[in-house]
Amino acid sequence: MTIIVTGGAGFIGSNFIFYMLKAHPDYRIVCLDKLTYAGNLSTLSGVMEQKNFRFVKLDICDREGVFGLFREEKPDIVVNFAAESHVDRSIDDPGVFLQTNVIGTSVLLDACRAFGTGRFHQVSTDEVYGDLPLDRPDLFFTEQTPIHASSPYSASKASADLLVMAYHRTYGLPATISRCSNTYGPYHFPEKLIPLMIANCLNDRPLPVYGQGLNVRDWLYVEDHCRAIDLIIHKGRAGEVYNVGGHNEMRNIDIVKLICRELGKPESLITYVTDRKGHDMRYAIDPTKIHDELGWLPVTKFADGIKKTIRWYLDNRDWWQDIISGEYTKYYEKMYGNRGKA
Ligand code: NAD
Ligand code: TDX
């Protein structure tokens, strides 16, 4: 069995590669990644030498390159993690989001068609459903919830989902989609809420909370996300969408305060800054379908997952210090430098 994993040098993709190499030691895993600012080859150093692993630096929008790789590898399964993934960057500059998330996905779909790939899995997001109001805790996203994207990022992910479904219906492409909630854990790029707050705490820098910090996200430990995808690609039904989430809703401000407590840092580091444009209020997944059909349940409780994650950032300072001292300093200055107070 050969699996092409796109975006495998990023956060969830790399965790998925580690998970799959352990869970299926007889599989061949081929990682295809462009190595954008978010891709980090050092993340994969521990598996680079494994015989059943191959890394290929490639852009999913590069049709010729992608077709060449499919011709060589004849993958049984393709799992597409490759994407521009940060909402704030999409608000600043949407173009590359359309290019990679939509056009790139279409190139992969065409390659799967051309080479008869047995399964294409699209790693999507709960953000395609838009948001839920804070005063209706009884509401959850199900697979029937209409697509209602808020940001250029989520609109690009929703567009890709529509294409995947169209290829399934029109060409009979055996495709599945997972829509997971906010994922956290090791190798999470420090532009995202949890790693950004951990890194800033450890450097005694201000903790920039958008608006009042009352927005709610539904957090899932990365290994649980990876296990869900493993189940879907093997047992999920083609043409189906599976929502993935662990019923773990938390307000941003409570996460930030928890990180301060865990690291013994004062809450006075918290700074309320100008809100994100179009900021989604609440995400909450109903995971009944994946539980009933595939027996998936999250294993790691948030209380344990966040401790493990903080421990990982303490033990792997080189990994993230390298990142935040490079190009990232320019990004940080642009996003947070002149940001007014909330
Ligand atoms: P990430 O930004 O950490 O990693 C993205 C990876 O894709 C990087 O390695 C990057 O180099 C690669 N990439 C980007 N453009 C590429 C291109 N044109 N060709 C080839 N490779 C390219 O992202 P992540 O947080 O690991 O997210 C992975 C996927 O999961 C994304 O599709 C995202 O939409 C989805 N998702 C993320 C979350 C979350 O909370 N992080 C939740 C649900 C779904
Ligand atoms: O500095 C910050 N301050 C802050 O208050 C940052 C970076 C974020 N936030 C808030 C915005 C959100 O309400 O924290 C929340 C989480 O923000 P992000 O980490 O940027 O994640 P989010 O926008 O929820 O999107 C994430 O989940 C779904 C991923 O980045 C997406 O790739 C995924 O699809």
Q: What is the mean pLDDT of the chain?
A: 98
Q: Which of 103, 99, 121 is nearest to 112 (CA)?
A: 121
CA of 84 to the centre of ligand 1 (A): 6
**Distance between CA 41 and CA 39 in Å, rounded?**
7
Integer Cα distance of 137 and 152 in angstroms: 26
Separation CA 220–CA 115 (nearest Å): 34
Tell me: pLDDT of 242 over 90.
yes
| Confidence at residue 342, expressed as pLDDT on a 0 to 100 scale | 87
Residue range 148-167: mean pLDDT, rounded: 98
Burial 315-327 (b: 16+ CB within 10 A, else e): eeeebbeebbeee
Tokens representing residue 24 in the block:
């299926």
Share of the chain above pLDDT 90, in %: 98
Task: Give CA–CA dist 138/116, Å, rounded.
Answer: 43
Instruction: Tell whether domain 2-184+219-244 is in CATH 3.40.50.970.
Output: no
The stretch 84-110 carries a mean pLDDT of 98
Mean pLDDT (whole number) for 104-111: 99
Residue 208, ligand 2, Cβ within 6 A: yes
Q: Mean pLDDT over residues 193-216, rounded?
A: 98
pLDDT at 326: 86
Q: Which two tokens stand for residue 282?
A: 């609440």
Confidence category of residue 215, pLDDT binned at 50, 70, 90 = very high
Nearest CA-CA partner of 37 in 84, 101, 90: 84
Nearest CA to ligand 2 atom 3: 209
Ligand 2 within 6 A of CB of 196: yes
From the number of C-beta atoms within 10 Å of its C-beta (0-12, 13-18, 19+), residue 257 rates as middle
Amino acid in position 30: V
Using alpha carbons, select from 104, 117, 123 the residue that is nearest to residue 36.
104
pLDDT beyond 90 at 63:
yes
Contact status, residue 131 vs residue 218, Cβ threshold 8 Å: no
Q: What is d(CA 288, CA 2) in angstroms, rounded to the nearest whole number? A: 30
Ligand nearest to the CA of 256: 2
Q: Is the CB of 154 under 6 A from ligand 2?
A: no
Whole-number Å distance between alpha carbons of 73 and 135: 50
Residue 220 Cβ contacting ligand 1 at under 6 Å: no
User: What sign does the CA torsion over 122, 14, 91, 183 have?
Assistant: positive
pLDDT value of residue 163: 98
Tell the burial category of 156 from Cβ atoms under 10 Å away from its Cβ (0-12, 13-18, 19+): buried
| Confidence band, pLDDT 50/70/90 cuts, at residue 154 | very high
Can you tell me which residue has the tokens 């993709």? 13
Compute the distance from residue 85 Cα to the ligand 1 centre, in Å. Answer: 5
Domain boundaries, the chain: 2-184+219-244
Residue having the nearest C-alpha atom to atom 23 of ligand 2: 87
HEC string of the chain equals CEEEEECCCCHHHHHHHHHHHHHCCCCEEEEEECCCCCCCHHHHCCCCCCCCEEEEECCCCCHHHHHHHHHHHCCCEEEECCCCCCHHHHHHCCHHHHHHHHHHHHHHHHHHHHHCCCEEEEEEEHHHHCCECCCCCCCCECCCCCCCCCCHHHHHHHHHHHHHHHHHHHHCCCEEEEEECCEECCCCCCCCHHHHHHHHHHCCCCEEEECCCCCEEECEEHHHHHHHHHHHHHHCCCCCEEEECCCCEEEHHHHHHHHHHHHCCCHHHEEEECCCCCCCCECCECCHHHHHHHCCCCCCCHHHHHHHHHHHHHHCHHHHHHHHHCCHHHHHHHHHCCCCEC
What is the pTM for the complete model shown?
0.98
**What is the model's pLDDT at position 275?**
98
Question: Ligand 2 atom closest to Cα of 335?
Answer: 1
For residue 68, what are the contacts with CB-CB under 8 A and spacing of at least 6? none
Mean pLDDT in residue range 20-40? 98
Report the C-alpha gap between 302 and 319 in whole angstroms. Answer: 23
